[in-house]
Structure 1
Protein backbone atom coordinates (compact mmCIF):
# COMPACT_ATOMS: atom_id res chain seq x y z
CA UNK A 1 0.00 0.00 0.00
CA UNK A 2 1.11 3.57 -0.70
CA UNK A 3 -0.45 6.96 -0.12
CA UNK A 4 -1.35 8.24 -3.58
CA UNK A 5 -4.05 10.74 -2.65
CA UNK A 6 -4.28 12.63 0.65
CA UNK A 7 -7.10 14.86 1.83
CA UNK A 8 -6.58 17.69 4.32
CA UNK A 9 -9.50 19.47 5.95
CA UNK A 10 -9.10 23.25 5.79
CA UNK A 11 -10.86 25.83 7.95
CA UNK A 12 -10.32 29.29 9.41
CA UNK A 13 -8.56 28.19 12.60
CA UNK A 14 -4.98 29.12 13.42
CA UNK A 15 -4.14 25.42 13.39
CA UNK A 16 -5.01 25.05 9.70
CA UNK A 17 -1.61 26.34 8.58
CA UNK A 18 0.45 23.74 10.45
CA UNK A 19 -2.00 21.02 9.38
CA UNK A 20 -1.60 22.07 5.75
CA UNK A 21 2.20 22.17 6.04
CA UNK A 22 2.26 18.59 7.31
CA UNK A 23 -0.14 17.41 4.60
CA UNK A 24 1.98 19.05 1.91
CA UNK A 25 5.13 17.47 3.31
CA UNK A 26 3.47 14.04 3.26
CA UNK A 27 2.20 14.55 -0.30
CA UNK A 28 5.71 15.43 -1.46
CA UNK A 29 7.26 12.57 0.51
CA UNK A 30 4.94 9.96 -1.00
CA UNK A 31 4.51 11.65 -4.39
CA UNK A 32 0.79 11.87 -3.68
CA UNK A 33 -1.94 14.18 -4.92
CA UNK A 34 -3.19 16.48 -2.16
CA UNK A 35 -6.81 17.61 -1.89
CA UNK A 36 -7.44 20.65 0.31
CA UNK A 37 -11.11 20.59 1.32
CA UNK A 38 -13.02 23.56 2.71
CA UNK A 39 -16.57 22.93 3.94
CA UNK A 40 -19.12 25.72 4.28
CA UNK A 41 -21.13 24.26 7.15
CA UNK A 42 -24.40 25.94 8.10
CA UNK A 43 -25.84 23.11 10.17
CA UNK A 44 -25.01 24.76 13.49
CA UNK A 45 -26.50 28.16 12.73
CA UNK A 46 -29.53 28.58 15.05
CA UNK A 47 -32.71 28.37 13.00
CA UNK A 48 -34.25 31.18 15.04
CA UNK A 49 -31.65 33.56 13.60
CA UNK A 50 -32.35 32.64 10.00
CA UNK A 51 -36.06 32.73 10.67
CA UNK A 52 -35.83 36.15 12.31
CA UNK A 53 -33.50 37.86 9.87
CA UNK A 54 -34.23 35.86 6.72
CA UNK A 55 -32.37 36.95 3.58
CA UNK A 56 -30.26 39.44 5.52
CA UNK A 57 -28.84 36.69 7.73
CA UNK A 58 -28.25 34.47 4.69
CA UNK A 59 -26.27 37.28 3.07
CA UNK A 60 -24.17 37.81 6.21
CA UNK A 61 -23.41 34.10 6.54
CA UNK A 62 -22.62 33.76 2.84
CA UNK A 63 -20.23 36.70 3.04
CA UNK A 64 -18.48 35.18 6.05
CA UNK A 65 -18.22 31.78 4.33
CA UNK A 66 -16.77 33.39 1.21
CA UNK A 67 -14.18 35.36 3.17
CA UNK A 68 -13.07 32.30 5.13
CA UNK A 69 -12.87 30.19 1.97
CA UNK A 70 -10.89 32.89 0.15
CA UNK A 71 -8.36 33.11 3.00
CA UNK A 72 -7.96 29.34 3.14
CA UNK A 73 -7.57 29.08 -0.64
CA UNK A 74 -4.90 31.79 -0.65
CA UNK A 75 -3.01 29.90 2.07
CA UNK A 76 -3.19 26.66 0.08
CA UNK A 77 -2.05 28.28 -3.18
CA UNK A 78 0.89 30.07 -1.55
CA UNK A 79 2.17 27.00 0.24
CA UNK A 80 1.50 24.63 -2.70
CA UNK A 81 3.69 26.67 -5.01
CA UNK A 82 6.59 26.47 -2.56
CA UNK A 83 6.05 22.75 -1.92
CA UNK A 84 6.05 21.93 -5.65
CA UNK A 85 3.54 19.11 -5.35
CA UNK A 86 0.18 18.30 -6.91
CA UNK A 87 -2.60 20.15 -5.06
CA UNK A 88 -6.33 20.45 -5.70
CA UNK A 89 -8.64 22.97 -3.99
CA UNK A 90 -12.23 22.02 -3.17
CA UNK A 91 -14.79 24.40 -1.67
CA UNK A 92 -18.17 22.77 -0.96
CA UNK A 93 -21.24 23.32 1.19
CA UNK A 94 -22.76 20.72 3.46
CA UNK A 95 -22.69 19.08 6.86
CA UNK A 96 -19.09 19.10 8.08
CA UNK A 97 -18.64 15.48 9.10
CA UNK A 98 -20.71 13.97 6.29
CA UNK A 99 -18.95 16.06 3.64
CA UNK A 100 -15.42 15.35 4.87
CA UNK A 101 -16.24 11.64 5.17
CA UNK A 102 -17.64 11.53 1.63
CA UNK A 103 -14.57 13.11 0.06
CA UNK A 104 -12.15 11.15 2.26
CA UNK A 105 -13.53 7.79 1.14
CA UNK A 106 -11.82 8.32 -2.20
CA UNK A 107 -8.40 9.03 -0.68
CA UNK A 108 -5.74 6.95 1.03
CA UNK A 109 -5.34 9.24 4.05
CA UNK A 110 -7.36 12.06 5.61
CA UNK A 111 -5.65 14.76 7.70
CA UNK A 112 -7.77 16.66 10.24
CA UNK A 113 -7.16 18.84 13.26
CA UNK A 114 -7.65 18.03 16.92
CA UNK A 115 -10.79 19.58 18.30
CA UNK A 116 -9.86 22.86 19.96
CA UNK A 117 -10.68 22.88 23.70
CA UNK A 118 -13.85 24.82 24.48
CA UNK A 119 -14.68 24.85 20.77
CA UNK A 120 -17.61 27.21 20.41
CA UNK A 121 -19.48 25.17 17.82
CA UNK A 122 -19.07 21.89 19.68
CA UNK A 123 -18.06 19.89 16.60
CA UNK A 124 -15.57 17.13 17.36
CA UNK A 125 -14.69 16.10 13.82
CA UNK A 126 -12.08 13.39 14.61
CA UNK A 127 -14.42 11.57 17.02
CA UNK A 128 -17.12 11.15 14.39
CA UNK A 129 -14.91 10.77 11.34
CA UNK A 130 -12.78 7.86 12.56
CA UNK A 131 -15.80 5.54 12.71
CA UNK A 132 -17.45 6.87 9.55
CA UNK A 133 -14.80 7.21 6.89
CA UNK A 134 -13.28 3.73 6.43
CA UNK A 135 -9.85 5.29 5.85
CA UNK A 136 -6.89 6.03 8.11
CA UNK A 137 -7.21 9.39 9.80
CA UNK A 138 -4.22 11.48 10.85
CA UNK A 139 -5.14 13.89 13.65
CA UNK A 140 -2.83 16.88 14.12
CA UNK A 141 -2.64 18.52 17.58
CA UNK A 142 -4.05 22.03 17.90
CA UNK A 143 -0.77 23.23 19.44
CA UNK A 144 2.72 22.86 17.98
CA UNK A 145 4.40 22.53 14.60
CA UNK A 146 4.90 19.17 12.91
CA UNK A 147 6.87 19.63 9.68
CA UNK A 148 7.73 15.93 9.55
CA UNK A 149 6.54 12.80 11.34
CA UNK A 150 7.31 9.10 11.44
CA UNK A 151 10.95 9.06 12.58
CA UNK A 152 10.08 7.23 15.82
CA UNK A 153 6.59 5.78 16.09
CA UNK A 154 4.67 4.40 19.04
CA UNK A 155 2.08 1.73 18.22
CA UNK A 156 -0.59 1.27 20.88
CA UNK A 157 -1.33 -2.42 20.45
CA UNK A 158 -4.22 -4.31 22.09
CA UNK A 159 -4.69 -7.11 19.52
CA UNK A 160 -8.07 -5.72 18.49
CA UNK A 161 -9.52 -5.47 14.99
CA UNK A 162 -9.16 -1.69 15.15
CA UNK A 163 -5.49 -1.85 16.14
CA UNK A 164 -4.81 -4.41 13.40
CA UNK A 165 -6.41 -2.08 10.84
CA UNK A 166 -4.38 0.88 12.09
CA UNK A 167 -1.06 -0.97 11.90
CA UNK A 168 -1.80 -2.08 8.34
CA UNK A 169 -2.86 1.42 7.30
CA UNK A 170 0.29 2.92 8.85
CA UNK A 171 2.75 0.63 7.00
CA UNK A 172 4.05 3.40 4.68
CA UNK A 173 5.13 5.30 7.80
CA UNK A 174 6.33 2.26 9.73
CA UNK A 175 8.60 0.98 6.94
CA UNK A 176 10.49 4.28 6.89
CA UNK A 177 10.74 4.79 10.65
CA UNK A 178 14.04 4.59 12.50
CA UNK A 179 12.25 2.69 15.25
CA UNK A 180 8.72 1.48 15.91
CA UNK A 181 7.94 0.95 19.58
CA UNK A 182 5.00 -1.44 19.97
CA UNK A 183 3.34 -1.27 23.37
CA UNK A 184 0.82 -3.98 24.22
CA UNK A 185 -1.69 -2.46 26.63
CA UNK A 186 -3.27 -4.80 29.19
CA UNK A 187 -2.51 -7.90 27.09
CA UNK A 188 -4.70 -10.98 27.41
CA UNK A 189 -3.65 -14.48 26.44
CA UNK A 190 -5.55 -17.02 24.41
CA UNK A 191 -7.01 -17.22 20.93
CA UNK A 192 -8.61 -13.78 21.16
CA UNK A 193 -5.56 -12.18 22.75
CA UNK A 194 -1.84 -11.68 22.25
CA UNK A 195 -0.45 -15.20 22.30
CA UNK A 196 2.26 -16.43 24.65
CA UNK A 197 4.45 -13.31 24.41
CA UNK A 198 2.44 -10.06 24.19
CA UNK A 199 3.45 -8.01 21.18
CA UNK A 200 5.78 -10.63 19.74
CA UNK A 201 3.46 -11.75 16.93
CA UNK A 202 2.74 -8.25 15.63
CA UNK A 203 6.43 -7.34 15.80
CA UNK A 204 7.32 -10.47 13.84
CA UNK A 205 4.68 -9.57 11.26
CA UNK A 206 6.07 -6.05 10.99
CA UNK A 207 9.63 -7.35 10.60
CA UNK A 208 8.54 -9.24 7.48
CA UNK A 209 7.56 -5.85 6.05
CA UNK A 210 11.01 -4.45 6.81
CA UNK A 211 9.87 -2.57 9.92
CA UNK A 212 12.36 -2.14 12.76
CA UNK A 213 10.04 -2.84 15.69
CA UNK A 214 10.57 -3.58 19.37
CA UNK A 215 7.81 -4.51 21.80
CA UNK A 216 6.92 -4.26 25.45
CA UNK A 217 3.75 -4.70 27.43
CA UNK A 218 2.25 -2.61 30.19
CA UNK A 219 -0.57 -3.00 32.67
CA UNK A 220 -2.87 -0.11 33.42
CA UNK A 221 -6.46 0.52 34.38
CA UNK A 222 -8.40 1.74 31.35
CA UNK A 223 -8.76 5.35 32.41
CA UNK A 224 -5.00 5.71 32.97
CA UNK A 225 -3.95 3.91 29.77
CA UNK A 226 -4.07 7.03 27.60
CA UNK A 227 -1.93 9.04 30.03
CA UNK A 228 0.58 6.21 30.25
CA UNK A 229 0.87 6.06 26.46
CA UNK A 230 1.57 9.79 26.28
CA UNK A 231 4.26 9.36 28.94
CA UNK A 232 5.87 6.65 26.82
CA UNK A 233 5.74 8.95 23.78
CA UNK A 234 7.83 11.47 25.72
CA UNK A 235 10.17 8.82 27.14
CA UNK A 236 10.88 7.28 23.72
CA UNK A 237 11.05 10.64 21.86
CA UNK A 238 8.29 9.52 19.49
CA UNK A 239 6.81 11.95 16.97
CA UNK A 240 3.73 9.90 16.03
CA UNK A 241 1.23 7.45 17.52
CA UNK A 242 -0.58 4.65 15.67
CA UNK A 243 -3.68 3.17 17.28
CA UNK A 244 -7.12 1.77 16.66
CA UNK A 245 -9.96 4.15 17.36
CA UNK A 246 -12.86 3.34 19.69
CA UNK A 247 -12.55 -0.36 20.36
CA UNK A 248 -15.81 -0.12 22.31
CA UNK A 249 -18.87 2.07 21.90
CA UNK A 250 -18.26 5.81 21.80
CA UNK A 251 -21.09 6.26 24.29
CA UNK A 252 -19.28 4.10 26.83
CA UNK A 253 -16.05 6.02 26.12
CA UNK A 254 -17.88 9.28 26.83
CA UNK A 255 -19.28 7.98 30.11
CA UNK A 256 -16.32 6.01 31.43
CA UNK A 257 -13.39 7.56 29.62
CA UNK A 258 -10.88 5.53 27.66
CA UNK A 259 -7.58 5.63 25.78
CA UNK A 260 -9.06 6.89 22.50
CA UNK A 261 -10.90 9.76 24.11
CA UNK A 262 -7.97 10.68 26.38
CA UNK A 263 -5.51 10.78 23.50
CA UNK A 264 -7.82 12.83 21.28
CA UNK A 265 -8.18 15.38 24.08
CA UNK A 266 -4.57 15.48 25.31
CA UNK A 267 -2.47 14.48 22.28
CA UNK A 268 1.03 15.92 21.99
CA UNK A 269 2.01 14.41 18.62
CA UNK A 270 -0.01 13.49 15.51
CA UNK A 271 -2.03 10.28 15.82
CA UNK A 272 -2.89 7.93 12.97
CA UNK A 273 -6.16 6.18 13.79
CA UNK A 274 -8.27 3.58 12.03
CA UNK A 275 -11.51 1.89 13.03
Structure 2
Protein backbone atom coordinates (compact mmCIF):
# COMPACT_ATOMS: atom_id res chain seq x y z
CA UNK A 1 0.00 0.00 0.00
CA UNK A 2 1.24 3.49 -0.87
CA UNK A 3 -0.05 6.96 -1.67
CA UNK A 4 -0.05 6.89 -5.48
CA UNK A 5 -1.87 10.19 -6.02
CA UNK A 6 -0.91 13.11 -3.78
CA UNK A 7 -2.70 16.47 -3.87
CA UNK A 8 -0.60 19.46 -2.80
CA UNK A 9 -2.72 22.44 -1.75
CA UNK A 10 -0.70 25.57 -2.56
CA UNK A 11 -3.02 28.31 -1.41
CA UNK A 12 -0.56 31.22 -1.09
CA UNK A 13 2.84 32.15 -2.53
CA UNK A 14 4.10 32.28 1.07
CA UNK A 15 3.58 28.54 1.69
CA UNK A 16 3.86 27.31 -1.91
CA UNK A 17 7.56 26.44 -1.66
CA UNK A 18 7.10 24.68 1.68
CA UNK A 19 4.17 22.52 0.56
CA UNK A 20 5.70 21.83 -2.86
CA UNK A 21 8.93 20.61 -1.25
CA UNK A 22 7.13 18.41 1.30
CA UNK A 23 4.85 16.96 -1.38
CA UNK A 24 7.76 16.29 -3.73
CA UNK A 25 9.61 14.43 -0.97
CA UNK A 26 6.55 12.24 -0.38
CA UNK A 27 5.98 11.67 -4.11
CA UNK A 28 9.58 10.49 -4.45
CA UNK A 29 9.22 8.23 -1.41
CA UNK A 30 6.02 6.55 -2.62
CA UNK A 31 6.56 6.86 -6.41
CA UNK A 32 3.41 8.98 -6.57
CA UNK A 33 1.74 11.18 -9.14
CA UNK A 34 1.69 14.72 -7.73
CA UNK A 35 -1.09 17.23 -8.37
CA UNK A 36 -0.54 20.86 -7.44
CA UNK A 37 -3.78 22.79 -6.87
CA UNK A 38 -4.64 26.43 -6.25
CA UNK A 39 -8.17 27.83 -5.99
CA UNK A 40 -8.64 31.45 -6.94
CA UNK A 41 -11.76 32.90 -5.34
CA UNK A 42 -13.67 35.41 -7.46
CA UNK A 43 -13.43 38.85 -5.92
CA UNK A 44 -16.41 40.30 -4.11
CA UNK A 45 -17.89 43.11 -6.17
CA UNK A 46 -17.51 46.56 -4.57
CA UNK A 47 -20.60 48.72 -5.02
CA UNK A 48 -20.71 52.44 -5.75
CA UNK A 49 -23.24 54.45 -3.74
CA UNK A 50 -25.89 55.68 -4.08
CA UNK A 51 -26.85 53.55 -7.08
CA UNK A 52 -25.04 50.49 -5.73
CA UNK A 53 -23.65 49.54 -9.11
CA UNK A 54 -20.47 47.43 -9.44
CA UNK A 55 -17.18 49.34 -9.49
CA UNK A 56 -15.43 47.83 -12.55
CA UNK A 57 -12.07 49.42 -11.77
CA UNK A 58 -11.97 47.93 -8.27
CA UNK A 59 -13.05 44.52 -9.54
CA UNK A 60 -10.30 44.55 -12.16
CA UNK A 61 -7.64 45.44 -9.59
CA UNK A 62 -8.76 42.65 -7.26
CA UNK A 63 -8.81 40.11 -10.05
CA UNK A 64 -5.38 41.14 -11.30
CA UNK A 65 -3.94 40.67 -7.82
CA UNK A 66 -5.53 37.21 -7.54
CA UNK A 67 -4.32 36.18 -11.00
CA UNK A 68 -0.80 37.35 -10.20
CA UNK A 69 -0.83 35.21 -7.04
CA UNK A 70 -2.06 32.17 -8.97
CA UNK A 71 0.67 32.63 -11.60
CA UNK A 72 3.36 32.87 -8.92
CA UNK A 73 2.16 29.72 -7.14
CA UNK A 74 2.03 27.86 -10.45
CA UNK A 75 5.55 28.96 -11.32
CA UNK A 76 6.92 27.73 -7.99
CA UNK A 77 5.23 24.34 -8.31
CA UNK A 78 6.21 23.72 -11.93
CA UNK A 79 9.78 24.87 -11.38
CA UNK A 80 10.30 22.49 -8.48
CA UNK A 81 8.59 19.43 -10.00
CA UNK A 82 10.40 19.87 -13.33
CA UNK A 83 13.72 19.99 -11.51
CA UNK A 84 12.98 16.66 -9.81
CA UNK A 85 11.58 14.98 -12.91
CA UNK A 86 8.37 13.86 -11.20
CA UNK A 87 5.08 12.70 -12.64
CA UNK A 88 3.17 15.88 -11.88
CA UNK A 89 0.41 18.16 -13.10
CA UNK A 90 -0.93 21.61 -12.23
CA UNK A 91 -4.58 22.47 -11.70
CA UNK A 92 -5.91 25.94 -10.99
CA UNK A 93 -9.55 26.66 -10.20
CA UNK A 94 -11.53 29.90 -10.22
CA UNK A 95 -14.96 30.19 -8.64
CA UNK A 96 -16.89 32.10 -6.03
CA UNK A 97 -16.73 29.02 -3.74
CA UNK A 98 -12.92 28.81 -3.68
CA UNK A 99 -11.74 25.53 -2.14
CA UNK A 100 -15.34 24.49 -1.51
CA UNK A 101 -16.18 24.36 -5.21
CA UNK A 102 -17.33 21.08 -6.75
CA UNK A 103 -14.37 20.88 -9.13
CA UNK A 104 -11.83 21.21 -6.32
CA UNK A 105 -13.71 18.67 -4.21
CA UNK A 106 -13.71 16.19 -7.09
CA UNK A 107 -9.92 16.45 -7.33
CA UNK A 108 -9.55 16.06 -3.56
CA UNK A 109 -11.84 13.06 -3.28
CA UNK A 110 -9.94 11.14 -5.95
CA UNK A 111 -6.55 11.61 -4.25
CA UNK A 112 -4.86 9.21 -1.83
CA UNK A 113 -3.44 11.97 0.35
CA UNK A 114 -3.83 15.75 0.68
CA UNK A 115 -0.87 17.85 1.82
CA UNK A 116 -1.57 21.37 3.12
CA UNK A 117 -0.07 23.95 5.43
CA UNK A 118 -1.18 24.70 8.97
CA UNK A 119 -2.66 28.17 9.29
CA UNK A 120 -0.41 30.63 11.06
CA UNK A 121 -2.35 31.36 14.29
CA UNK A 122 -0.69 34.78 14.48
CA UNK A 123 -2.66 35.86 11.41
CA UNK A 124 -6.30 36.83 11.66
CA UNK A 125 -7.21 35.14 8.36
CA UNK A 126 -7.27 31.38 8.86
CA UNK A 127 -8.53 30.68 5.33
CA UNK A 128 -11.91 29.28 6.40
CA UNK A 129 -12.75 28.09 2.89
CA UNK A 130 -9.57 25.98 2.78
CA UNK A 131 -10.33 24.48 6.19
CA UNK A 132 -13.86 23.60 5.08
CA UNK A 133 -12.35 21.97 2.01
CA UNK A 134 -10.01 19.89 4.17
CA UNK A 135 -12.86 18.82 6.42
CA UNK A 136 -15.29 17.91 3.63
CA UNK A 137 -12.85 16.13 1.30
CA UNK A 138 -13.18 12.72 2.97
CA UNK A 139 -9.49 12.01 2.36
CA UNK A 140 -6.55 11.80 4.79
CA UNK A 141 -4.95 15.20 5.27
CA UNK A 142 -1.30 15.76 6.13
CA UNK A 143 -0.90 19.16 7.74
CA UNK A 144 2.56 20.74 7.79
CA UNK A 145 3.42 23.14 10.65
CA UNK A 146 3.98 26.61 9.22
CA UNK A 147 7.27 26.76 11.14
CA UNK A 148 8.60 23.59 9.47
CA UNK A 149 10.35 24.82 6.35
CA UNK A 150 12.25 21.69 5.26
CA UNK A 151 10.95 18.13 4.69
CA UNK A 152 11.75 15.75 7.53
CA UNK A 153 12.10 11.97 7.69
CA UNK A 154 9.07 10.35 9.32
CA UNK A 155 10.63 7.80 11.66
CA UNK A 156 8.69 8.19 14.92
CA UNK A 157 4.88 8.21 14.82
CA UNK A 158 2.32 8.76 17.56
CA UNK A 159 -1.23 7.44 17.01
CA UNK A 160 -3.88 9.07 19.23
CA UNK A 161 -6.34 6.23 19.74
CA UNK A 162 -9.75 6.21 21.42
CA UNK A 163 -11.41 3.31 19.60
CA UNK A 164 -13.72 5.52 17.53
CA UNK A 165 -14.56 5.23 13.83
CA UNK A 166 -12.55 8.38 13.13
CA UNK A 167 -9.49 7.09 14.97
CA UNK A 168 -9.69 3.78 13.08
CA UNK A 169 -9.99 5.63 9.77
CA UNK A 170 -6.95 7.78 10.51
CA UNK A 171 -4.87 4.81 11.65
CA UNK A 172 -5.49 2.72 8.56
CA UNK A 173 -5.22 5.75 6.24
CA UNK A 174 -1.73 6.26 7.66
CA UNK A 175 -0.53 2.67 7.02
CA UNK A 176 2.05 3.68 4.37
CA UNK A 177 3.70 5.95 6.96
CA UNK A 178 3.33 3.42 9.77
CA UNK A 179 4.93 0.60 7.78
CA UNK A 180 7.93 2.77 6.91
CA UNK A 181 8.41 4.15 10.44
CA UNK A 182 11.08 3.08 12.90
CA UNK A 183 8.69 3.20 15.87
CA UNK A 184 4.94 3.63 16.24
CA UNK A 185 3.38 4.44 19.61
CA UNK A 186 -0.36 4.08 20.24
CA UNK A 187 -1.45 6.52 22.92
CA UNK A 188 -4.66 6.11 24.93
CA UNK A 189 -5.73 8.83 27.35
CA UNK A 190 -8.07 7.91 30.22
CA UNK A 191 -9.68 4.88 28.53
CA UNK A 192 -13.12 4.07 29.95
CA UNK A 193 -13.71 1.03 32.13
CA UNK A 194 -16.03 -1.19 30.09
CA UNK A 195 -17.84 -4.11 31.66
CA UNK A 196 -16.12 -6.64 29.41
CA UNK A 197 -12.63 -5.13 29.45
CA UNK A 198 -10.38 -3.42 31.95
CA UNK A 199 -8.92 0.00 30.95
CA UNK A 200 -5.38 -1.39 30.81
CA UNK A 201 -6.44 -3.73 27.97
CA UNK A 202 -7.73 -0.90 25.78
CA UNK A 203 -5.81 -0.59 22.54
CA UNK A 204 -4.41 -4.12 22.56
CA UNK A 205 -6.42 -5.18 19.52
CA UNK A 206 -5.31 -2.30 17.30
CA UNK A 207 -1.73 -2.86 18.47
CA UNK A 208 -1.94 -6.53 17.50
CA UNK A 209 -3.45 -5.64 14.11
CA UNK A 210 -0.65 -3.21 13.32
CA UNK A 211 1.96 -5.72 14.48
CA UNK A 212 0.61 -8.15 11.86
CA UNK A 213 1.61 -5.55 9.29
CA UNK A 214 5.19 -5.89 10.61
CA UNK A 215 4.94 -2.50 12.29
CA UNK A 216 7.13 -1.92 15.33
CA UNK A 217 4.34 -0.82 17.67
CA UNK A 218 4.15 -0.01 21.38
CA UNK A 219 1.07 0.77 23.46
CA UNK A 220 0.92 3.52 26.08
CA UNK A 221 -2.01 4.24 28.39
CA UNK A 222 -1.96 7.49 30.35
CA UNK A 223 -4.35 8.13 33.22
CA UNK A 224 -4.78 11.80 34.07
CA UNK A 225 -7.72 11.61 36.43
CA UNK A 226 -9.13 14.57 34.55
CA UNK A 227 -6.32 16.81 35.75
CA UNK A 228 -4.76 17.40 32.33
CA UNK A 229 -6.48 18.16 29.01
CA UNK A 230 -5.98 15.58 26.27
CA UNK A 231 -4.36 18.23 24.08
CA UNK A 232 -1.69 18.86 26.72
CA UNK A 233 -1.02 15.13 27.11
CA UNK A 234 -0.50 14.77 23.37
CA UNK A 235 1.67 17.88 23.15
CA UNK A 236 3.89 16.60 25.95
CA UNK A 237 4.23 13.21 24.27
CA UNK A 238 5.16 14.82 20.96
CA UNK A 239 7.89 16.84 22.63
CA UNK A 240 9.24 14.18 25.00
CA UNK A 241 9.53 11.50 22.31
CA UNK A 242 10.61 13.75 19.41
CA UNK A 243 7.64 12.59 17.35
CA UNK A 244 7.76 13.24 13.59
CA UNK A 245 4.10 12.50 12.79
CA UNK A 246 0.89 12.61 14.82
CA UNK A 247 -2.03 10.51 13.53
CA UNK A 248 -5.52 11.22 14.81
CA UNK A 249 -9.19 11.20 13.86
CA UNK A 250 -11.06 14.35 12.89
CA UNK A 251 -14.28 15.13 14.74
CA UNK A 252 -16.90 17.85 14.80
CA UNK A 253 -18.71 20.05 12.37
CA UNK A 254 -17.08 22.62 10.10
CA UNK A 255 -13.60 23.72 11.19
CA UNK A 256 -10.69 21.34 11.53
CA UNK A 257 -9.30 23.01 14.63
CA UNK A 258 -12.53 22.17 16.53
CA UNK A 259 -12.91 18.53 15.51
CA UNK A 260 -10.05 16.69 17.12
CA UNK A 261 -10.13 13.74 19.49
CA UNK A 262 -13.41 14.68 21.14
CA UNK A 263 -12.34 17.28 23.68
CA UNK A 264 -9.01 18.21 22.08
CA UNK A 265 -9.34 21.85 21.07
CA UNK A 266 -7.94 24.27 18.54
CA UNK A 267 -4.91 24.83 20.79
CA UNK A 268 -3.37 21.54 19.63
CA UNK A 269 -3.17 22.54 15.98
CA UNK A 270 -2.33 26.15 16.78
CA UNK A 271 0.81 24.85 18.54
CA UNK A 272 1.70 22.12 16.04
CA UNK A 273 5.26 20.87 16.43
CA UNK A 274 4.94 17.75 14.28
CA UNK A 275 3.37 16.77 10.99
CA UNK A 276 -0.24 15.80 11.64
CA UNK A 277 -2.36 13.36 9.65
CA UNK A 278 -6.13 13.73 10.08
CA UNK A 279 -8.94 11.56 8.73
CA UNK A 280 -12.67 11.70 9.21
TM range (shorter): 0.7 to 0.9
Tell whether 2:78 aligns with 1:80: no
- Aligned CA distance change for structure 1 residues 33 and 233 (closer, same or farther; 3 Å): same
1:199 is matched with 203
Measure how far apart 1:102 and its partner are: 3.1
Instruction: Provide, for residues 174-219 of structure 1, a one-character-per-residue CA deviation record: whole Å limited to 9, x for no partner.
Output: 0000000110122123389887512221111100111111010113
Instruction: Provide, for residues 79-131 of structure 1, a one-character-per-residue CA deviation record: whole Å limited to 9, x for no partner.
Output: 11222211111111122331343321010001111112243444235643443
Deviating more after overlay: 172-181 vs 61-70:
61-70
- Aligned CA distance change for structure 1 residues 146 and 182 (closer, same or farther; 3 Å): farther
Instruction: Provide, for residues 150-179 of structure 1, a one-character-per-residue CA deviation record: whole Å limited to 9, x for no partner.
Output: 211111111111000000000000000000
Instruction: Provide, for residues 222-259 of structure 1, a one-character-per-residue CA deviation record: whole Å limited to 9, x for no partner.
Output: 9721122111111111111000011x5569948xx932
1:155 is matched with 159
2:277 is matched with 272
Distance 1:272 1:8 in 2: 14
Measure how far apart 1:40 and its partner are: 0.4
Tell whether 2:100 aligns with 1:98: yes
Could you say what secondary structure the match of 2:26 adopts? helix
1:21 is matched with 21
Tell whether 2:140 aligns with 1:136: yes
Tell whether 2:4 aligns with 1:4: yes
Task: Return 5+ residue gaps in structure 2 as ranges.
Answer: none
Could you say what secondary structure the match of 1:188 adopts? coil
Task: Return 5+ residue gaps in structure 1 as ranges.
Answer: none
Within 5 Å, give how 1:1-275 maps onto structure 2.
1-42=1-42, 45=44, 48=47, 54-94=55-95, 95-99=97-101, 100-124=104-128, 127-190=131-194, 197-220=201-224, 221=226, 224-246=229-251, 248-249=252-253, 253=258, 258-259=263-264, 261-275=266-280
Structure whose alpha-carbon radius of gyration is higher: 2
Distance 2:198 2:5 in 1: 34
Answer whether contact 1:114 1:139 (CA < 8 A) is retained.
Answer: yes
Answer whether contact 2:156 2:243 (CA < 8 A) is retained.
Answer: yes
Distance 1:20 1:115 in 2: 16
Deviating more after overlay: 108-117 vs 194-203:
194-203
Could you say what secondary structure the match of 1:64 adopts? helix
Q: RMSD of the TM alignment (CA)? A: 2.8
Measure how far apart 1:73 and its partner are: 1.1
Answer whether contact 2:100 2:129 (CA < 8 A) is retained.
Answer: no
Answer whether contact 1:115 1:124 (CA < 8 A) is retained.
Answer: no
